[in-house]
Amino acid sequence: MDKLWSRAVIGLFIGSALANFSVWIDFLVILTLTSYIYHASAFLMAFVSALILGPSVFLGPRLGRLVDAANNPSWMLISSLVLRGSTTAFLLFMPSFPLFCLIVFFRSVMALPEYPASNALTAQIISPSDVPRYFGLLGLLRGASKIGAPTLGVVLASIYGVALAIQISIGMTLFASVTIIFAFYKKLHIFTNKNKYFENHKEKNIKELKSDKNVSDYKNISLMKMLLWTVTTYSFMVFFINNQLPVLLRNAGFNMILLGVLVSSSGAGGIFAASYLSRRRRSKQSDTMNPMRATIVSVNAIAFCFVALGGAFMLPLSIAPYVAAILFFCTGIFSTTEAIRANVVVVQGFPKNAGEITAKLSAFRNFAMLIAPWFSAIFMHYDLSISVLFIVDGGIGLMIMYGILHVYKHFNPKTGHSPTLPG
């Protein structure tokens, strides 16, 4: 039997997959209600998006620290799932728009501990050697959810109404919590003796690590900063283009079908990457690149793909869509690799602080997601073509990554290389 799959790991895996699927349905339902029921303006749509992402920026790190301090992430995860599902249920009453916004805000707050608690559990119950494969398999299901959940939500909402989509989301969320309860209700003590790597890490929060002059702790802080800025750069690049892509394609004279093709190509690339990374047996050559370096390489590769996309959209209209689809497939591969490897860095490099680091990552990502569309809007104000915007976006990403690597080398003159995980 595969040593990865204990009852606790199976429960966590299924629960995390169900929770992620329900999050995508929630997201679609919230945007659908905002647009079609409340007939919100573009400004109010942006405000609702801020209500979804904002709590993570301001409250996420504190709640992540609480997940680590409580030392019982399973019940933090269960509580978060139950509270998120219960809060989402209030949307069934179709409240006034101000009350709707309040519900969306509280739902976002209730969801904050989910991701940190899930990664904290992963650090406690899965051996470091199995972590990459676990996140590869979970990334495979998350990629499928990203494609399938919005489609399912649209079909259900259009045929049976938004209420059914909400009910299914609530049911999946609560079932995810039941799965976690079933997995952990008898053997909560396994956290303290299952993972020797987890045991050997000192119990320190991030503030203590920053004030400690120990060389190992200093390297961990450098690794954390490197990871934070790398994933922030990735999120900024992607959402610089993401929200404006429909408008850019329309202005460039492309059919709306191309948008669906490009999104599907990216999703297919993500599934391909997750399938590869989740293989049980990989050659030694495929494991030579450590997770942090793989994260950095992936973000740089995405930046190069964006610059290449700028060139692709300069091609004739009969050729450009095919080249663009191939490049979007590549961005899907590297985006999924970035997400999976970043999680591996957190769980393997910071097992005692996995909750806090995960929350910080989410906060930095969401902050970039909030500000990136405003920057792209400034460029679009000058009627720049889709080719120029892709080149600018990729160029900005490459410059930021060069700066990050330069600063890291400045702080670590003895290594002169990308960071590796401790141990």
Q: Which sign, positive or negative, has the C-alpha torsion 352, 286, 8, 187? A: negative
What mean pLDDT is predicted for residues 306-334?
93
* Backbone φ and ψ of 297, nearest 5°: -60, -40
The number of helices, as runs of H, and strands, as runs of E, in the chain is 16, 0
The set of residues, in sequence order, having a beta carbon less than 8 Å from that of 96 and lying 6+ positions away, is: none
CA–CA distance, 140 with 128 (Å, rounded to integer): 19
Q: Model confidence at 200, in pLDDT bands (50, 70, 90)?
A: very low
**What pLDDT digit, counting tens, does each position of 224-261 carry?**
888 999 999 999 999 888 877 877 888 888 877 887 78
Around 136, how many Cα atoms within 13 Å sit in the side-chain half-sphere?
Answer: 19
At 413 the pLDDT is 39
Question: How far separated are the first and last CA of the chain, in Å rounded?
Answer: 28
Give the confidence band of 414 by pLDDT, cuts at 50, 70, 90: very low
Res 324: pLDDT: 93
| Structure confidence at residue 204 (pLDDT) | 52
Distance of CA 352 to the CA centre of its chain: 21
Query: Quick one: average pLDDT of 326-353?
Result: 90
- Residue holding tokens 């079908």? 257
What's the number of CA atoms in the CB half-sphere (13 Å) around residue 70?
20
What's the Cα-to-Cα distance from 372 to each of 168, 243, 337, 343, rounded to whole Å? 32, 9, 22, 23
- The answer on pLDDT for 419 being more than 50 is no
